[in-house]
A and B are shown apart, each in its own frame.
Chain A
Amino acid sequence: MNGVRQDLRYAWRGLRQRPGFTLVAVVTLALGIGANTAIFSVVNGVLLRPLPYDHPDRLAMVWGHRTQEPLAELSVPEYWELGERTHAFARVGAYADGSATLTGAGAPERLRVGYMTAGVPAVLGVAPVVGRGFGREEDLPGGPAAVLLSDALWRRRFGADPSVVGRALTLDDTPLTVVGIMPPGFQLPDHYEGTGMELWAPLQLDPAADRSDRGWHFLDVVGRLRNGATLEGAAAETSALMRGMRAEHPTEYAAEFDGTSTSVIGEVVGDVRPALLVLLGAVALLLLIACANVAGLLLARADTRQREIALRTALGAGRSRLVRQLLTESVLLAAAGGVVGALLAVWGIRGLVLAAPASVPRLDAVGIDVRVLGFTAALTILTGVLFGLAPALHAIRGDLTGALTDGARAGTAGGRQRTRRLLVAGQIAIALVLVTGASLLVQSFLRLRQVDPGFRPEHLLTARIELSTVRYATSDSRRTFYRELLDRLGRVPGVRSAAMARALPMTGKLEIGDWSFVLEGRSASPPLPSDWHPADWQAVSPGYFATMGIPILRGRDFTADDRVGAPGAIVVNRTLARQAWPGEDPVGQRVLLGGGSVDSVWRTVVGIVGDVRHRGLSTEPRPEMYLPYAQFPAGTGSVTPSVSIVLRAAGDPEALVPSLAATVRGVDPDIPLSSVQTMEQAMGSWAAERRLVMLLVTGFALVALTLGAVGIYGVMAHLVGQREREIGIRMALGAVPDQILRLVVSQSAWLVAGGIAAGTAAALAAGRLLAGLLFHIRPTDPLTFVGTALILVVVAAAATVAPALRAVRTDPAHALRSE
């Protein structure tokens, strides 16, 4: 213990005596450890921290889907039959999301609402912390109106007053009774993105409802696996169930309809996991570079400490004792780097959470906890040993006798130089991996931005409005409101045109959903599964295409004449036109949407419009059909109370925000506006996660390049210093300055070439991990690799200039005299 204290004291004194060295080493390590701590804290919060459910690994989501199509929610009959006909699940629950305006307790506020069956908390193994869950009668249609509050809403809106339980709230003009408060951080499985839900109401599904109507897929379904059941078994059983339903209801399902079950954990974090793992890999590489840099500094110091080490050996210090002392110094350095790094990480985490897009789930769980602190401490010790071991071993292996008798001539420190060169080549290799990754991500991002979205996003202002389903209970009242609003908005100065749609492209996580239809005269009666053509569906107002800048390729836009009672109209996009009517003109053809009672009118195709990348720039356009909102499918219940407004401005769209708000207030002062943003902002948010990963990896790559350049400079400067006498000899033997320059540059060139070769191999291997984040560029893109290698050559050349010039300027007489 005494020896350790002595080592620590000596190491501390040694570091204080060389403030320049200590500062550079601590800053370098702090950058590496800080970046790792910050990213690990995000990984910890998002991926590693268990979901707040009982045994979350035993929970599964249940989906229906067609081959090659995204997973889809279940319809009500599918949900009931899942519970009745499968054995893998001990219990299942369903939920959906929506929003409502809370009034009567402070200012009106639009809140996200989760609607769930009464059994969902039991499935998840979660109970309210205050009050109770929903009773069976509250979950039946027409049952007592009850609501559960989130902990956040309870604290924010009700000051964490437990007596709020039992009180009535008004939600969308409907009184509900608060029955309980859910635990802090609770969300339903796929509601962890953004702010999440703030309250929950019973879903009130009707078990006696008609089970033949299966087309309305809107239920997220979660199940708890029965003891002994596996996720694979549940997936197989779900698949068998869905295929059985397809056989029992051939007119309701497409031919390839199937089902599956996925893990809840994967559902919550699956999308963001690859990006986080890439970032974790990137910071790990950054730390390796930092370690190599500090190891290089320590090796350089080892040259100057030969005499001291030799003296200690002569005085009886054993090798292990010397290694311990030297490692104490490196671990002390790492500890200082760790402390500064942790402070940097605190800022970094705040910045990351602020910069992270809403699509990253569980951001509220990101922070420094015991696990993060443990990670940082372990990383710090490991780092200290990692960068300290090689220099320590080299220091005790030197020519100790020579060091004591003739320090100046005690060998050429060849082993240390070889290690330093290896370290620098390694730094170049790692920097190349990071720069290649950053370059691929930047190019992906730029290519993505060049993709034509199918509409003109400039000068567009968008907003979401949600009508009270109590005051606007009928489709007619909603149509009247929308018509009035669009009329007024069209007359606002600065507005070129105004329109609305069920869901705008790339604005948040609004699901557009698909719907199948049959072609008139081309399907059996009743239609066979193969007769159905699936397509995403939209409901839009007249003028939507012109406002959005979506080209009408043939036919016409919707008009005010496409109203209730008029012949059904439909507009299709180019992809749907080609798929459903290959080689023919769809205009004038008639289609019937599936679902029987949902939409039973034949609709005539009145126009073809250009493709829109509704689901994001990186997703190819899908077949899409547009219905006039006035002819909103009656069978869905009514015209949707929730729509997006889009305005095309003559100038700056943001300048229209006050007019938009005033106009909505003018029609109905109690209708809240939400998600007010320009289309370009909406598209930017959509790409925000990709952008953040790109910026972070680019930032790490720049730091890596800088550290790599410092490493090359350090080694070359040290080599030139070490070889001053040799350079003097070479000059005495007739070397001209150019030949000395070539000598130094060729040494650097070999280091760089070795680093680039190793780095290229590593980057090719690592590229596969990046593949999922790339767009229209292969992870092995040769131009990127050549460009990256050139960048490293330029950086290395810049780092070599000063040492090379110093070598050229060597005074041979002085160099030989200093012998």
Chain B
Amino acid sequence: MPLAIDPLIRLTGLSKIFHTDEVETHALSGIDLDIKAGEYVAVCGPSGCGKTTLLSILGLLDTPSEGSFVLAGEPVSTLSAAQRARVRARAVGFIFQAFNLIGDLTVYQNVELPLKYRGMPADERRSAVLAALDRVGLLHRLKHYPSQLSGGQQQRVAVARAVAGRPLVLLADEPTGNLDSANGAEVTALLRELNQDGATLVVVTHDPRYLREARRTVYLFDGRLVPGAPLDVEVA
């Protein structure tokens, strides 16, 4: 999974301003951040500091107001919505706090969905879906619907969905926020394993228990990276 391109993600002078009526809200300001392939980066900070906005931009769900974003050597900050969707399908895997599985689709269909959007042939899709579900230990739940699963199982399906297409980067937004401690630990372990297998992980969290899992933590405050903050350290 790690690429030779270094860094995998480069943000330079990145800002995001939201306009509501006549009010400007600077959600992110002057963010400079490099993330290497295979890194496990945790993004933390208080509520409203811009963590989710940063993750949206990293996941190409949103575009920066200023600055540049280079993903795997390709500038992506000025792409159209359709172009961003194509890059997203190929390069980004999302894991959400609320799992965000689609209730009308089975476990198999949920995991298969991003691969369909990517245009992967059916036989390749099938083996990728089965491999991903095997990885999270849910092969026996292929035909179940999300409502028939526990919270931990749902998040594991979400992880399988995120990794099935072998994206360049996995973005996780409070992935254990909706789970009890046992299920949370299970998912945390799963992410650790993925990283150990070479996956690049960017995890937004403000739970210090999980920050230790990351090899590097960046701290956001009022939309800015706080250099030298206690948690902005690389864990050996």
Q: Is A270 an interface residue (CB 8 A)?
A: no
Q: Is A762 an interface residue (CB 8 A)?
A: no
User: Which residues from chain A contact B100 at a C-beta distance below 8 Å?
Assistant: 725, 729, 732, 816, 819
How far, in angstroms, from A811 to B114 measured CA to CA in the complex? 18
Query: Which one of B3-11, B55-63, B123-131 is at the interface?
Result: B55-63
Instruction: Using known A-B contacts A813-B61, A813-B62, A817-B52, determine if residue A734 contacts B118 with beta carbons closer than 8 Å.
Output: yes
User: Which residues from chain B contact A737 at a C-beta distance below 8 Å?
Assistant: 81-82, 85
How far, in angstroms, from A813 to B103 measured CA to CA in the complex? 20
Q: Is A315 an interface residue (CB 8 A)?
A: no
Q: Is B76 an interface residue (CB 8 A)?
A: no
How far, in angstroms, from A736 to B86 measured CA to CA in the complex? 7
Asked if B102 contacts A732 (CB within 8 A), the reply is: no
How far, in angstroms, from A414 to B104 measured CA to CA in the complex? 9
Find the A residue at minimum CB distance from B89.
A734
Query: Which one of B29-37, B90-98, B226-234 is at the interface?
Result: B90-98
Asked if A812 contacts B161 (CB within 8 A), the reply is: no
Instruction: Using known A-B contacts A813-B56, A819-B98, determine if residue A734 contacts B117 with beta carbons closer than 8 Å.
Output: yes
Q: Is A487 an interface residue (CB 8 A)?
A: no
Find the A residue at minimum CB distance from B102.
A726
Q: Mark A711-741, 1 if CB is under 8 A from B, else 0.
A: 0000000000000011001111111111100
User: Which residues from chain B contact A819 at a C-beta distance below 8 Å?
Assistant: 96, 98, 100
Asked if B98 contacts A734 (CB within 8 A), the reply is: no
How far, in angstroms, from A725 to B96 measured CA to CA in the complex? 12
How far, in angstroms, from A492 to B94 measured CA to CA in the complex? 94
CB B58 to nearest CB in A, in angstroms, measures 11
Find the A residue at minimum CB distance from B113.
A733
Asked if B94 contacts A739 (CB within 8 A), the reply is: no
Q: Mark A799-819, 1 if CB is under 8 A from B, else 0.
A: 000000000000111001101
CB B129 to nearest CB in A, in angstroms, measures 13
User: Which residues from chain B contact A304 at a C-beta distance below 8 Å?
Assistant: none
Q: Is A412 an interface residue (CB 8 A)?
A: yes
Find the A residue at minimum CB distance from B97.
A819
CB B204 to nearest CB in A, in angstroms, measures 12
Asked if A736 contacts B102 (CB within 8 A), the reply is: no
How far, in angstroms, from A414 to B103 measured CA to CA in the complex? 10
How far, in angstroms, from A811 to B86 measured CA to CA in the complex? 16
Instruction: Using known A-B contacts A412-B103, A729-B102, determine if residue A736 contacts B117 with beta carbons closer than 8 Å.
Output: yes
How far, in angstroms, from A737 to B89 measured CA to CA in the complex? 13
How far, in angstroms, from A726 to B103 measured CA to CA in the complex? 9
Q: Mark A198-216, 1 if CB is under 8 A from B, else 0.
A: 0000000000000000000
User: Which residues from chain B contact A726 at a C-beta distance below 8 Å?
Assistant: 102
Q: Mark B32-73, 1 if CB is under 8 A from A, else 0.
A: 000000000000000000001100100101100000000000
Instruction: Using known A-B contacts A729-B102, A816-B100, determine if residue A734 contacts B85 with beta carbons closer than 8 Å.
Output: yes
How far, in angstroms, from A738 to B119 measured CA to CA in the complex? 13
Asked if B56 contacts A734 (CB within 8 A), the reply is: no
Contact partner, A733, options B52, B62, B86, B117, Cβ 8 Å: B117
How far, in angstroms, from A817 to B16 measured CA to CA in the complex? 15
Asked if B98 contacts A732 (CB within 8 A), the reply is: no
User: Which residues from chain B contact A813 at a C-beta distance below 8 Å?
Assistant: 53, 56, 61-62
Asked if B90 contacts A734 (CB within 8 A), the reply is: yes
Interface residues of A in 362-417 (CB under 8 A from B): 409, 412, 414
User: Which residues from chain B contact A732 at a C-beta distance below 8 Å?
Assistant: 59, 61, 88, 94, 100
Q: Mark B104-116, 1 if CB is under 8 A from A, else 0.
A: 1000000001100
Asked if B85 contacts A736 (CB within 8 A), the reply is: yes
Q: Mark A724-768, 1 if CB is under 8 A from B, else 0.
A: 011001111111111100000000000000000000000000000
Instruction: Using known A-B contacts A726-B102, A736-B85, determine if residue A816 contacts B161 with beta carbons closer than 8 Å.
Output: no
Asked if A734 contacts B102 (CB within 8 A), the reply is: no
User: Which residues from chain A contact B103 at a C-beta distance below 8 Å?
Assistant: 412, 414
User: Which residues from chain A contact B89 at a C-beta distance below 8 Å?
Assistant: 733-736
User: Which residues from chain B contact A736 at a C-beta distance below 8 Å?
Assistant: 82, 85-86, 89, 117
- Interface size of A by Cβ–Cβ distance < 8 Å? 22
CB A804 to nearest CB in B, in angstroms, measures 15
CB A727 to nearest CB in B, in angstroms, measures 10
User: Which residues from chain A contact B117 at a C-beta distance below 8 Å?
Assistant: 730, 733-736, 739
User: Which residues from chain B contact A738 at a C-beta distance below 8 Å?
Assistant: 82
Interface residues of A in 273-331 (CB under 8 A from B): none
How far, in angstroms, from A733 to B59 measured CA to CA in the complex? 10
How far, in angstroms, from A811 to B53 measured CA to CA in the complex? 13
Find the B residue at minimum CB distance from A729.
B100
How far, in angstroms, from A729 to B96 measured CA to CA in the complex? 10
CB B6 to nearest CB in A, in angstroms, measures 25
Contact partner, B94, options A412, A733, A811, Cβ 8 Å: A733
CB B223 to nearest CB in A, in angstroms, measures 15
CB A623 to nearest CB in B, in angstroms, measures 70
How far, in angstroms, from A799 to B171 measured CA to CA in the complex? 38
CB A778 to nearest CB in B, in angstroms, measures 43
User: Which residues from chain B contact A733 at a C-beta distance below 8 Å?
Assistant: 88-89, 94, 113-114, 117, 161
Find the B residue at minimum CB distance from A737.
B82
Find the B residue at minimum CB distance from A815.
B61
User: Which residues from chain B contact A734 at a C-beta distance below 8 Å?
Assistant: 85-86, 88-90, 92, 114, 117-118
CB B165 to nearest CB in A, in angstroms, measures 8
How far, in angstroms, from A18 to B59 measured CA to CA in the complex? 40
Q: Which of B61, B92, B98, B117 has the most CB of A within 10 A?
A: B61
How far, in angstroms, from A817 to B18 measured CA to CA in the complex? 14
Asked if B113 contacts A731 (CB within 8 A), the reply is: no
Q: Which of A732, A739, A819 has the most CB of B within 10 A?
A: A732
How far, in angstroms, from A733 to B94 measured CA to CA in the complex? 7
CB A738 to nearest CB in B, in angstroms, measures 8
CB A622 to nearest CB in B, in angstroms, measures 66
How far, in angstroms, from A770 to B62 measured CA to CA in the complex? 59
Asked if B102 contacts A812 (CB within 8 A), the reply is: no
CB A763 to nearest CB in B, in angstroms, measures 32
Interface residues of B in 108-160 (CB under 8 A from A): 113-114, 117-118
User: Which residues from chain A contact B81 at a C-beta distance below 8 Å?
Assistant: 737
How far, in angstroms, from A700 to B175 measured CA to CA in the complex? 56
CB B142 to nearest CB in A, in angstroms, measures 18
User: Which residues from chain B contact A414 at a C-beta distance below 8 Å?
Assistant: 103-104
CB A107 to nearest CB in B, in angstroms, measures 78
User: Which residues from chain B contact A409 at a C-beta distance below 8 Å?
Assistant: 98
Asked if B85 contacts A731 (CB within 8 A), the reply is: yes
CB A303 to nearest CB in B, in angstroms, measures 15
CB A191 to nearest CB in B, in angstroms, measures 67
Asked if A816 contacts B113 (CB within 8 A), the reply is: no
User: Which residues from chain A contact B104 at a C-beta distance below 8 Å?
Assistant: 412, 414
CB A739 to nearest CB in B, in angstroms, measures 6
User: Which residues from chain B contact A735 at a C-beta distance below 8 Å?
Assistant: 85, 89, 117
How far, in angstroms, from A816 to B174 measured CA to CA in the complex? 13
Asked if A816 contacts B82 (CB within 8 A), the reply is: no
CB A411 to nearest CB in B, in angstroms, measures 8
Asked if A812 contacts B61 (CB within 8 A), the reply is: yes
CB B108 to nearest CB in A, in angstroms, measures 15
User: Which residues from chain A contact B53 at a C-beta distance below 8 Å?
Assistant: 813
Contact partner, B113, options A412, A730, A817, Cβ 8 Å: A730
Interface residues of A in 406-435 (CB under 8 A from B): 409, 412, 414
CB B63 to nearest CB in A, in angstroms, measures 9
7 of the cross-chain contacts (CB-CB < 8 Å) are A729-B96, A730-B117, A732-B88, A734-B114, A736-B89, A738-B82, A817-B56
The 6 closest A-B pairs by CB, nearest first: A734-B89, A734-B117, A733-B114, A813-B56, A813-B62, A813-B61
Supplied contacts A730-B102, A731-B85, A732-B100, 14 more A-B pairs, CB within 8 Å: A412-B104, A726-B102, A729-B102, A733-B88, A734-B85, A734-B88, A734-B90, A734-B114, A734-B118, A736-B86, A811-B62, A812-B61, A813-B53, A813-B61
Q: Which residues on A are within 8 Å of B, measured CB to CB?
A: 409, 412, 414, 725-726, 729-739, 811-813, 816-817, 819
